Structure 1
Amino acid sequence: MTVRLQDVLAHPTLAAADPVVRAAAGTAARTQLRWIHSSEILDIAPLLDGGELLLTGGEALALASEERRVTYIRQLAERGVAALAIETGVALPSLPSSMVAAAEAAGLPLIELRKVVPFVSVMQAINSSLVSESVSQLRRADEASHAMAVELAHGGSLDRILAVLAGITHSEVTLASLTGAPLASATPAHAETADAGTAADADASSAAPEPGTPGPGIPESAPHEHARLIHIDVPVRGILAAQLLLRVPAEEDENLARTAGKRSVDILALAMLQRMSPGLREVAGAALIRAIDSGSQPWRLQQLASAAGIPVSAPLVAVVVRSDISQQLRTSLEQHLSRAAQSHATYVDNAELLAIASLAGDATEESRQRLLADLSELPAMDGTLAAVGPLVAGISDAPWSLSEAKLTLELAASPEQARPGSGGVHRPVIDAEAFAVERLTVQSLDPYQRRNFVRQQLGALLDHDAQRNSRLLDTLATWLDCGCNTAHAARELHVERQSMHQRLRRIFELCGGDPRDSGRLAALHLAARLARLA
């Protein structure tokens, strides 16, 4: 027998609290309960399964902000909690109007307990009757799960697998992608049609509709009046891939639908893996990059990489593209990665396009250079800049490669500073290794130390450029980037060789002599690169 909220409120153990429904009173009479739980923790929602009557003394709510109270209500409603009962008294004299309004908007019955009762006694008295009902629900849910497994084993479509669940729960059932697109659906009427044939009938299986399209006997879904919508996550190999939605009519057993839905998750995950693996690989790849970007634990990266088809121990690099049209560039980037990498994954986050690419196990540095050369064919549009991170030995080190690629883009503040030695020419793709010195320095020295070092090494040269409006610093930096090759530097700067020699003589005078004849060459080179960043 289904236990409803109104029955529990009338139970002697809870009636002694003088309960009054303050919000969503219209749904309270038909609200079904699965369990009664008590907690003062405001972050309790993720620990609940849905269908609970939650009892709380209100002490934590009395100290919480208005925003936190409203968030508390919304989180419980999103989790599928059946009702919330709050004890008022000295700490919390009355229910805040903001909570009442939030509960009304969310359709969550909110009950005020105006007298103190022992919550333990309430739970012991009522949960005992809920246990026997739960046993019956679990038995029927296991029957549904077994029938769905049989349907899967005989090659049934996702629609036919869902029809088994719809028939047992008497609910409209939909499997939807994370974007909300329907992948498959079934209604109780369709379940009856499916039951008329045998699950093993191959002809019936081949005639089943494609996932996401209405099958025979499935009318356009019209929401039942007062129907309860249950959401159940469907992960595949540890990655959230879809949601199972059950629209349960008010007169049907909501707790059975929830239990059977949860029992069916593994069957649905296996069915999706068999029928939709390419799409799931993309989902896993996006989840992997989000985990890399957030610095998740290595075990989580390894789990996601396996699902995304990225070898866990393969050498790889991260790629970051920043552009106002990152989403449009994604297809072009994936085409280049498909040619240059063994496997890859991409993800777009606002104006940032992130990717990882695994490279061949032998001659990995050569593979990385080929990848850089291939990616250089990306459209070199204004405002678009990309960086390839350092090579790492496996997926566990991917967060470092990604963070170094991002740092490289920050150091290359404009397309004209695409990389040291670029001669002012816009390079659409930057090698993070070309900024290895800058990356190390900005991570090791604070801004004051960097400015002081540059001033000590190049003070006279900087003063000369400021007073004469010259660009001797650029000349020195380019010459050093070119390995002190005067002819090469002249070509990079588009000047005559004689003019280049004249500039270098003046630079040497300002810097205390030819650095090639002393031990200052490395210090001057570092100072010139840091000064150019500033």
Structure 2
Amino acid sequence: MSVFLGEILAHPALASADPVVHPPGAHTYAQPVRWVHSSEVLDIAPLLRGGELLLCGGITLASATPEKREEYVRALAQRGIAALAIETGGALPEIPAAMLEKAREYGLPVVELRKVVPFVGVMQAINSILVSESVGHLQQADAATRAMAAELAHGASLDKILGVLAGITGSAVRLTSPWGVAMGSAAPESWEGDGGRPDDEAVAGGQGGDPGAAGRVAISVDIPVRGVLMGRLEVQVKQGADTALAHVAGERAVDILGLALLQHTPPGLHALAGAELMRAVLTSAPAWRLEQLAPGAGFPAESPAVVAAIHAASPQELRGAVETFLNSSRIPSAAYQDDAELVVMIGLPADDTVGARRKLLESLQGLEGDQDATVALGPVAGRVAEAAWSLAEARRALEIRQVRRRNASPRRRHPDHGRVVVDAEDTAVESLALTAIDASAREAFVTRQLRAVLEHDAQRQSQLLETLQVWLDSGCNTAQSARELHLERQSMHHRLQRIFELCGGDPRGTGRLASLHLAVRMAGLA
């Protein structure tokens, strides 16, 4: 059976911490836990897999801004951790009410540890139990895959193969196409439902383990065949049943179900060519290889294309929306998914490349699917052979955005709400600086151009560099800059006057304008 949060909190190693759960309730205590981890790092979410009980001493949280605490909660909730346990007292007398409210909004259970306990001892005690449980799950999952392989060898139908998995996990299972068309389903004899078809509302919860309409938990596992997404396994587990076993068994069944799909519905040549083309793009294969593969995937070798890098908690959901949109618009495309990154190459018309790319940016913002995804669209590759460069620029745009957010002042570091679409053409200057100029040369250039401004900010805790950046990015529009910085126009004029004095005069109408702008943007990469 799975190990639930309630059991862990009742274990002597944690019970002595006098834990209080926010919000209280049976559902919170029934939350399955995959692992116990401890960290004070507020940017820990990308390093987690989901299902963890995260222990936090509260020291970093005590000095963090409200915006940073909210971002911390949001990122952990999106990662799908089981719960966040925070030690109170000392540096953090209590968990901030605003933080608890955000956790409730995002559906993240928070445990307040009101007494000090050694986190190392907690992890050793609980994780040893979890390891024993995992071994048992692996043994059961391997038994399921052996039985499924035997059925496959005897030519059984998809329903019969799925029936083996349903019987061992005690769950209803369904195999669908990437677009949701049912290809097979099964349920154990004791299942009380709709004949083995998992509830659509429950399945929508995905891997996050959200409860479905009938008090059930849905798990979704992608089934690739030769690099092509051919199906999706949906497992519906009754509330209180062994969700961990269903997770492990579903993941272990991927290869067998892939072979079954290959036998019953083999992928077409077009799909295989698209997957091979994307692998070539991802590995920066030689130009001749890309040109050789492109026609089979529906891309004329000389046609322009653009590559998007998409990071999402549930990339498979967004992939379906992207591919449906592109197919309905008859736009050539090929996609490849690797963990939390989805890479999509999209063909553009030669007669209106710029306009088509602009419309594509707008469409990516409005697509259905994971609204917390971050999408970066690379620059136009003049031909398919340059697709790897477009992808590299898209990924670099994501990195530059992260650096910008980290270096931004607290008042301008707003948490993301909704899907973020990043245009790599907006970060072309930073990309050039990172790839063509070494760090020491960048630093020397920034110092020569902005030394007086940087020293002024350091000595007087002013924001002249930020003001200069906003003003230059706005095209030297003083009124717009004042609005963005929440300043009165007179205050904005005073700041600009001081900046001009430090920089040797008003740069407008001189060659210094371009060099100042370049220096400001390079300073943001530090």
Per the normalisation by structure 2, the TM-score is: 0.51
2:304 to 315, 319, 330: 319
Rounded to whole Å, the distance in 2 between the matches of 1:162 and 1:304 is: 38
Rounded to whole Å, the distance in 1 between the matches of 2:261 and 2:128 is: 38
| Contact residue 86 and residue 112 of structure 1 kept, 8 A | yes
Q: Deviations over 1:324-379 (max 9, x none)?
A: xx999968967xxxxxxxxx7468xxxx99328xxxxxxxxxxxxxxx9xx88xxx
User: Which residue number in structure 1 is paired with residue 215 of structure 2?
Assistant: 226
Per the normalisation by structure 1, the TM-score is: 0.50
2:259 to 270, 274, 284: 270
Rounded to whole Å, the distance in 2 between the matches of 1:328 and 1:4 is: 40
Runs of 5+ unmatched residues, structure 2: 203-211, 307-322, 336-343, 361-379, 395-526
Deviation at 1:55, TM superposition (A): 1.4
Deviation at 1:138, TM superposition (A): 0.9
2:346 to 336, 354, 359: 354
- What is the SS of the residue equivalent to 2:215? coil
**Is it true that 1:185 corresponds to 2:170 in the alignment?**
no
Pair 169,332 (structure 1): closer, same or farther in 2 beyond 3 Å: closer
Deviation at 1:147, TM superposition (A): 1.8
Pair 103,273 (structure 1): closer, same or farther in 2 beyond 3 Å: farther
Rounded to whole Å, the distance in 1 between the matches of 2:44 and 2:289 is: 27
Q: Tell me which amino acid in the other structure corresponds to 2:236.
A: R
**Is it true that 1:250 corresponds to 2:242 in the alignment?**
no
- What is the SS of the residue equivalent to 2:40? coil
**Is it true that 1:298 corresponds to 2:287 in the alignment?**
no
Rounded to whole Å, the distance in 1 between the matches of 2:286 and 2:236 is: 34
Deviation at 1:128, TM superposition (A): 1.9
Deviation at 1:33, TM superposition (A): 2.8
Deviation at 1:148, TM superposition (A): 2.1
- What is the SS of the residue equivalent to 1:94? coil
In the TM superposition, 1:460-479 aligns within 5 A as none
RMSD, aligned α-carbons: 5.2
Pair 289,299 (structure 1): closer, same or farther in 2 beyond 3 Å: closer
Pair 170,29 (structure 1): closer, same or farther in 2 beyond 3 Å: same
Q: Deviations over 1:50-99 (max 9, x none)?
A: 43322122334445454554444344444442222112234433223344
User: Which residue number in structure 1 is paired with residue 96 of structure 2?
Assistant: 96
User: Which residue number in structure 1 is paired with residue 131 of structure 2?
Assistant: 131
Deviation at 1:113, TM superposition (A): 1.0
Query: How many residues get paired?
Result: 339
| Contact residue 176 and residue 184 of structure 1 kept, 8 A | yes
Deviation at 1:141, TM superposition (A): 0.8
Q: Tell me which amino acid in the other structure corresponds to 1:298.
A: S
User: Which residue number in structure 1 is paired with residue 119 of structure 2?
Assistant: 119
User: Which residue number in structure 2 is paired with residue 148 of structure 1?
Assistant: 148
Q: Tell me which amino acid in the other structure corresponds to 1:226.
A: G
Rounded to whole Å, the distance in 1 between the matches of 2:55 and 2:182 is: 36
User: Which residue number in structure 2 is paired with residue 33 of structure 1?
Assistant: 33
| Contact residue 233 and residue 250 of structure 2 kept, 8 A | yes
Pair 76,227 (structure 1): closer, same or farther in 2 beyond 3 Å: farther
Pair 102,393 (structure 1): closer, same or farther in 2 beyond 3 Å: closer
- What is the SS of the residue equivalent to 1:318? coil
Deviation at 1:129, TM superposition (A): 2.4
Rounded to whole Å, the distance in 2 between the matches of 1:48 and 1:353 is: 28
| Contact residue 85 and residue 110 of structure 1 kept, 8 A | yes
Rounded to whole Å, the distance in 2 between the matches of 1:283 and 1:98 is: 50
User: Which residue number in structure 2 is paired with residue 21 of structure 1?
Assistant: 21
- What is the SS of the residue equivalent to 1:3? coil
Rounded to whole Å, the distance in 1 between the matches of 2:163 and 2:288 is: 36
| Contact residue 33 and residue 51 of structure 1 kept, 8 A | yes
| Contact residue 5 and residue 31 of structure 1 kept, 8 A | yes
- What is the SS of the residue equivalent to 2:304? strand
Q: Deviations over 1:83-136 (max 9, x none)?
A: 221122344332233442343344432111122211110111222222222211
Query: Which stretch shifts more, 140-149 or 123-132?
Result: 123-132
Rounded to whole Å, the distance in 1 between the matches of 2:76 and 2:289 is: 30
| Contact residue 69 and residue 99 of structure 1 kept, 8 A | yes
Rounded to whole Å, the distance in 2 between the matches of 1:99 and 1:280 is: 51
Q: Tell me which amino acid in the other structure corresponds to 2:284.
A: P
Rounded to whole Å, the distance in 2 between the matches of 1:91 and 1:242 is: 50
For the pair shown, which has the larger CA radius of gyration, 1 or 2?
A: 1
| Contact residue 24 and residue 110 of structure 1 kept, 8 A | no
Q: Deviations over 1:141-180 (max 9, x none)?
A: 1111222222333333433333222211111223445555
- What is the SS of the residue equivalent to 2:159? helix
Rounded to whole Å, the distance in 2 between the matches of 1:156 and 1:332 is: 38
Q: Tell me which amino acid in the other structure corresponds to 2:129.
A: S
User: Which residue number in structure 2 is paired with residue 532 of structure 1?
Assistant: none
Q: Tell me which amino acid in the other structure corresponds to 2:27.
A: T
Pair 353,234 (structure 1): closer, same or farther in 2 beyond 3 Å: closer
Q: Tell me which amino acid in the other structure corresponds to 1:247.
A: Q
**Is it true that 1:170 corresponds to 2:170 in the alignment?**
yes
Deviation at 1:187, TM superposition (A): 2.0
- What is the SS of the residue equivalent to 2:86? strand
Rounded to whole Å, the distance in 2 between the matches of 1:5 and 1:327 is: 39
Runs of 5+ unmatched residues, structure 1: 193-213, 335-343, 357-371, 403-534
Provide the identity percentage: 48
Pair 219,226 (structure 1): closer, same or farther in 2 beyond 3 Å: closer
